[in-house]
Structure 1
Amino acid sequence: MRKKVAIIMGGFSSEYKISLKSGNVVYDYLDKEKYDAYRIHIFKDRWIYVDSNEKEFPVNRHDFSLKLNNQMVKFDCVFNAIHGTPGEDGLMQAYFKLLGIPQTSCGFYQAALTFNKRDLLSVLKAYGIKSAPSYYLNKGDKIDEKQIIDKVKLPCFVKANKSGSSYGITKVYKAEELKNAISLAYMEDDEIIIEGFLEGTEVSVGVIKYKGETTVLPITEIVTENDFFDYEAKYEGKSQEITPARISNEQEQNVTRIARTIYDVLKMNGFSRSEFIFIGEDPFLLEVNTTPGLTKESILPQQAKEAGIDLSQLFESAIEEALS
């Protein structure tokens, strides 16, 4: 008997369009012989099922069910394809935990922790995970440019603390640019992290549960045409994503070990993609994404392909892992 799978997509953040693309790829590649797939759009003002004719039906938020043709539809599993809130910050994970519905991403605590860059880096520091020097601001705090620059130096990155796809990020070269960069970051979040610039090779490392095993995928090197790996570089072709990465054996061993350590220490499930910059042979962690992009051009699917895992296998493994 085919399992009923709800693919949730959309969300409340600036990343909702990217999420809709990811969700539709999951829908297209799921094995229809094994699964009945339902595209569920999650927005602040409505939760809806969108059928193959683009007709919309409301989702009952009390038990996450549908009424179609006078029949109640209950789901065996949820495939989480929401980037940003509420799919990547723990809200949907906690909701499904309360309802007892399995879902493909990590748990609610892990999602909330990894979505908060400041808290994540603080927790992992105790395990020897290196990161750039940083300075924290909350909305309303006094902005002391000298204190910030003394701590992180120039150039530096001003980032929204809880955001993805490089929304709310600015590379700052001069003290007088800080306030505008901070204002931009506050448009995405009321917390900010300002990090020192790290000069080195940037890589992305996918770690997943595949057929019950923690699996580190082939590493991707990021070479951007822009000043950094921003939205344009990620989604509009302004970068090269080279898999496998052109790094030394020692670098590969170090970053593979650290990416696996992060996944295991945090007791992760589902997909993750961690970003690092090498200083010499040592990887410095930038962030961890727990609902990474899933289009054919996205980094994690590229890595899976290099490992001999096609999209149907990748998505099926996530569902079976959640169901188990």
Structure 2
Amino acid sequence: MKKNIAIIMGGYSSEVEISLKSGNVVHNSLSKERFNTYRIHILKEKWVYVDGDNQEHPVNRGDFSIEVNNESVVFDCVFNAIHGTPGEDGLMQAYFELLGIPQTSCDYYQSALTFNKRDFLSTLKPYGIKSATSYYINQGDQINTEEITAKVGLPCFVKANKAGSSFGISKVYEKNDLKPAIERAYKEDDEVIIESFLDGIEVSVGVITYKGKTKVLPITEIVSENDFFDYEAKYQGKSQEITPARLSPEQEKNVVETAKYAYEVIKMKGYSRSEFIFIGDEPYMLEMNTTPGLTNESILPQQAKIAGISMSELFESAIEEALVKNK
């Protein structure tokens, strides 16, 4: 009997359009012989099922069911394709856990932890996983540019603490540019992390649960045409994404071990894509994304393809893992 799969997409953040694109790719890739797939738009103003004729059907938030042709449809599993809140920060994961509905991404705690860059990197430090020198500031705090630059130096990166797709991020070269950069970051989040500039090779490492085991995918080297791997570089072709990355054997060994260790230390499941910068042979963790882009152009599917995993295999494996875990 075919399983009913809800593919949630959209979200409440600046990443909504990217998420809708990812969700549609998942919808088109899943086997129609094995699954009944339903595109569920989770938006600030509405939760709706969008059918093949683009007609909208409201979602019952009490039990996450929908009504189609006067019949109630309940779901065997939810495929999470929401980037940003509420799909990547633990809110949807907690909601589905309360309802007892299996879902493909990590659990609510891991999602909330990794979405908060400051807390995530602090959690990994006792395990020997390195990261940039950082300075924290919250909206309403006094901005002490002398104190900031004394700790992290210049240039530095100013980032919204809980945001993705490089929204709210600036590379700052001059002390006078710190305040405008912080104000820009506050448009995405009321918490900011300011990090020292790490000058080295940048890589993206996909780690997933695949057929019951933790699997590290081929590594991607990021070469941005812009000053850093910003929104244009990620989504508008202003970068080279080289897979497999041009690393020494020592660098490859170190980053594979570190990415897998971080995944297992925090008890991750599902998809993850972690970003690192090398200082010599040592990888420094920047962040971990738990709902990475899933379009044909996105890094994780590119890595899976090189590993011999098709889009349908990648997505269907996530559903199978969620169903097994629920049992």
- Return the TM-score normalized by structure 2: 0.99
One-letter amino acid of the structure 2 residue matched with residue 219 of structure 1: I
Distance 2:124 2:305 in 1: 29
Distance 2:318 2:211 in 1: 9
Distance 2:244 2:11 in 1: 32
Distance 1:252 1:41 in 2: 39
Divergent runs of 4+, >2 A: none
1:322 corresponds to which residue? 322
1:247-275 CA distance string (max 9 Å, x none): 00000000000000011011011000000
Distance 1:248 1:88 in 2: 33
1:261 corresponds to which residue? 261
Distance 1:287 1:131 in 2: 9
Q: Please tell me whether residue 210 in structure 1 is matched to residue 216 in structure 2.
A: no
Q: 1:44: Cα distance to partner?
A: 1.2
Distance 1:80 1:269 in 2: 13
2:32 corresponds to which residue? 32
Q: In structure 2, the residue corresponding to 1:4 is in which secondary structure?
A: strand
Question: Aligned ranges for residues 79-158 of structure 1 at < 5 Å?
Answer: 79-158=79-158
How many residue pairs align between the two structures? 324
Q: In structure 2, the residue corresponding to 1:315 is in which secondary structure?
A: helix
Distance 1:2 1:74 in 2: 13
Q: Please tell me whether residue 237 in structure 1 is matched to residue 237 in structure 2.
A: yes
Question: Aligned ranges for residues 48-67 of structure 1 at < 5 Å?
Answer: 48-67=48-67
Distance 1:69 1:134 in 2: 55
1:166 corresponds to which residue? 166
Q: In structure 1, the residue corresponding to 2:296 is in which secondary structure?
A: coil
1:78-131 CA distance string (max 9 Å, x none): 000000000000000000000000000000000000000000000000100000
1:137-172 CA distance string (max 9 Å, x none): 000000000000000000000000000000000000
Q: Please tell me whether residue 6 in structure 1 is matched to residue 3 in structure 2.
A: no
Distance 2:131 2:96 in 1: 33
Q: In structure 1, the residue corresponding to 2:246 is in which secondary structure?
A: coil
Distance 1:174 1:280 in 2: 26
One-letter amino acid of the structure 1 residue matched with residue 253 of structure 2: Q
1:61-87 CA distance string (max 9 Å, x none): 000000111111000000000000000
One-letter amino acid of the structure 1 residue matched with residue 198 of structure 2: L
Root-mean-square deviation (Å): 0.3
Q: In structure 2, the residue corresponding to 1:179 is in which secondary structure?
A: helix
Distance 1:222 1:318 in 2: 26
Percent of aligned positions with the same letter in both sequences? 72
Distance 1:30 1:262 in 2: 29
Q: In structure 1, the residue corresponding to 2:60 is in which secondary structure?
A: coil
1:266-310 CA distance string (max 9 Å, x none): 101100000000000000000000000000000000000000000
Q: In structure 2, the residue corresponding to 1:24 is in which secondary structure?
A: helix
Distance 1:317 1:49 in 2: 24
Distance 1:229 1:317 in 2: 30
Q: In structure 1, the residue corresponding to 2:194 is in which secondary structure?
A: strand
Q: In structure 2, the residue corresponding to 1:204 is in which secondary structure?
A: strand
Distance 1:250 1:95 in 2: 42
Q: 1:225: Cα distance to partner?
A: 0.3
One-letter amino acid of the structure 2 residue matched with residue 213 of structure 1: K
Q: 1:45: Cα distance to partner?
A: 1.3
One-letter amino acid of the structure 1 residue matched with residue 16 of structure 2: Y
Distance 2:323 2:38 in 1: 17
Distance 2:234 2:211 in 1: 29
Q: 1:173: Cα distance to partner?
A: 0.1
Q: In structure 2, the residue corresponding to 1:59 is in which secondary structure?
A: strand
Distance 1:163 1:27 in 2: 25
Q: Please tell me whether residue 272 in structure 1 is matched to residue 272 in structure 2.
A: yes
- Return the TM-score normalized by structure 1: 1.00
